[in-house]
């Protein structure tokens, strides 16, 4: 098993190179990039100002020299594979480049938003697995009971409402009209002047509504996944044999069936880890939260390719690490699994 995980870790760098190379090549050939946008802006400015100055020809916004300098600034004066190697060399040194729009370090912009994404992603993971796994066990043990039916109604009602729709409702009623919670932001403007406990209270006061939107969809999936697989194992021959030999039902559930039922939960952990940490740009847009998801979305719309590549790289690392953690959890849950 050690050799398996060692191979998986060694495969991470070539996988990242493959993913980033494909996306980097796409960004070079997709029309409407930063160079075209700047050219259009310059032409519009020249048209409004009655023509370009300096070395520009009559009717043209920029001179040939200015255009070549602009291509060099965006790295478009070299073939895409040469530019990719240049970008990769900077990434190896810890430099993700500079934003074309904000003229700021890409790494500092991502690092600033990662703490927000980690906060919501970590809380979502803890609450989802801390509540849904026990709830799925209870629903399986009390299958078709009053508790099972009531929780199913609540869970399916929540699952039917997309997170961004719930967010729109929460912003209008509990936040705007009833003023129970803040409408937007990660913390208050005077956050740094508060005491420690006031900061904790302010942080969670802002987090209640966005967290509700993050949790609503994952709650149903994880709970029902746990319940269905535990029901399947409780009906298996090995559990019925254990009960027939005198093992108590409680011991049969928690000693035998539960561990096997955790295998699908562990398998999906890696995927959920990536989704939770990278965040949802729709929920972040509704509550005006500067997270990683919103940064990736806005940078894609603005064709800010250095940020797009930086967010892609970070998201890919999370995905690969999450899958690795998922494999480790599967091996822990099922001792029969021996990766080779």
**What pLDDT, in 10s, does the model give residues 163-209?**
888 888 999 999 999 999 998 888 888 888 999 999 999 999 999 99
Q: Can you give the pLDDT at residue 5?
A: 81
* pLDDT at 137 > cutoff 50: yes
User: Average pLDDT for residues 26-42, to the nearest whole number?
Assistant: 80
Among 89-93, 138-142, 238-242, 277-281, the least confident range: 277-281
What does the DSSP 8-state code read for residue 193? G
What per-residue confidence (pLDDT) applies to 282?
82
Residue 253 has pLDDT above 70, yes or no: yes
Report the C-alpha gap between 245 and 256 in whole angstroms: 14
Other Cβ atoms within 10 Å of 271 Cβ, number: 13
Given a cut of 80, is residue 278 above it in pLDDT?
A: no
Number of residues written out for the chain = 340
pLDDT, the chain, mean: 85
Q: 319 in helix, strand or coil?
A: helix
Q: How many percent of the chain have pLDDT more than 70?
A: 93
Q: What does the H/E/C string look like for 168-205? A: HHHHHHHHHHCCCCCCCCCCCCCHHHCCHHHHHHHHHH
Q: Does the pLDDT at position 83 exceed 50? A: yes
Rama region for 60: left / alpha / beta (φ>0; ψ in -120 to 50; rest): beta
Give the highest mean pLDDT range of 45-49, 135-139, 263-267. Answer: 135-139
Domain ranges within the chain, ordered by starting residue: 1-38+59-93, 106-333
* Residue 332, CA atoms < 13 Å, CB-side half-sphere: 10
Residue 279 in contact with residue 115, Cβ under 8 Å? no
Q: For residues 173 and 183, what is the distance between their CA atoms, to the nearest angstrom? A: 10
Query: What pTM value is reported for the model?
Result: 0.81
Instruction: Please determine, looking at this structure, whether the domain spanning 106-333 carries the CATH number 1.10.3720.10.
Output: yes
Q: Is 60 exposed, middle or buried (0-12, 13-18, 19+ CB in 10 A)?
A: middle
Residue 277: pLDDT band (50, 70, 90) is: low
**Percentages helix, strand, coil for the chain, rounded to the nearest 5?**
75, 0, 25
Binned at pLDDT 50, 70 and 90, residue 138 comes out as: very high
Quickly tell me which residue has 């520009």 as its tokens: 56
Task: Report residue 59's pLDDT band, with 50, 70 and 90 as the boundaries.
Answer: very low
Q: Which of 98, 131, 137, 101 is nearest to 253 (CA)?
A: 137
Two tokens at 247? 């093992």
Coil, strand, or helix at residue 105?
A: strand
pLDDT band at 218 (very low <50, low <70, confident <90, very high): confident
Higher-confidence position of 169 and 337: 169
pLDDT at 52: 47
């Amino acid at each position: 098993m050690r050799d398996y995980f060692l191979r998986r870790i060694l495969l991470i760098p070539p996988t990242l190179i493959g993913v980033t190379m494909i996306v980097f090549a796409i960004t070079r050939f997709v029309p409407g990039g930063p160079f075209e946008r700047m050219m259009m802006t310059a032409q519009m400015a020249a048209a409004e100002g009655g023509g370009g100055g300096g070395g520009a020809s009559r009717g043209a916004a920029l001179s040939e020299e200015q255009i070549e300098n602009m291509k060099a600034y965006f790295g478009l004066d070299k073939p895409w594979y040469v530019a990719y190697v240049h970008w990769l060399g900077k990434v190896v040194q810890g430099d993700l480049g500079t934003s074309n729009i904000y003229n700021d370090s890409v790494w500092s912009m991502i690092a600033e938003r990662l703490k927000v994404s980690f906060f919501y992603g970590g809380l979502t993971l803890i609450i989802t697995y801390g509540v849904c796994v026990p709830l799925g066990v209870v629903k399986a043990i009390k299958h078709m009971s009053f508790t099972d039916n009531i929780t199913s109604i609540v869970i399916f009602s929540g699952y039917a409402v997309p997170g961004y729709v719930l967010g729109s409702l929460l912003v209008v009623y509990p936040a705007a009209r009833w003023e129970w919670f803040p409408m937007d932001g990660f913390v208050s403007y005077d956050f740094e002047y508060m005491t420690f406990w006031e900061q904790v209270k302010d942080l969670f006061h802002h987090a209640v509504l966005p967290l509700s939107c993050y949790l609503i969809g994952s709650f149903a999936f994880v709970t029902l996944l746990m319940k269905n697989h535990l029901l399947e194992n409780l009906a298996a021959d090995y559990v019925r044999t254990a009960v027939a030999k005198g093992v108590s039902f409680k011991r049969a559930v928690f000693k035998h069936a539960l561990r096997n039922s955790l295998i699908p939960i562990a398998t999906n952990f890696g995927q959920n880890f990536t989704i939770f940490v990278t965040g949802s740009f729709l929920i972040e847009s509704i509550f005006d939260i500067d997270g990683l998801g919103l940064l990736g979305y806005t940078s894609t719309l603005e064709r800010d390719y250095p940020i797009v590549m930086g967010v892609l790289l970070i998201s890919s690392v999370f995905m690969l690490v999450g899958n690795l953690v998922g494999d480790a959890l599967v091996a822990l849950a099922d001792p029969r699994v021996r990766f080779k």
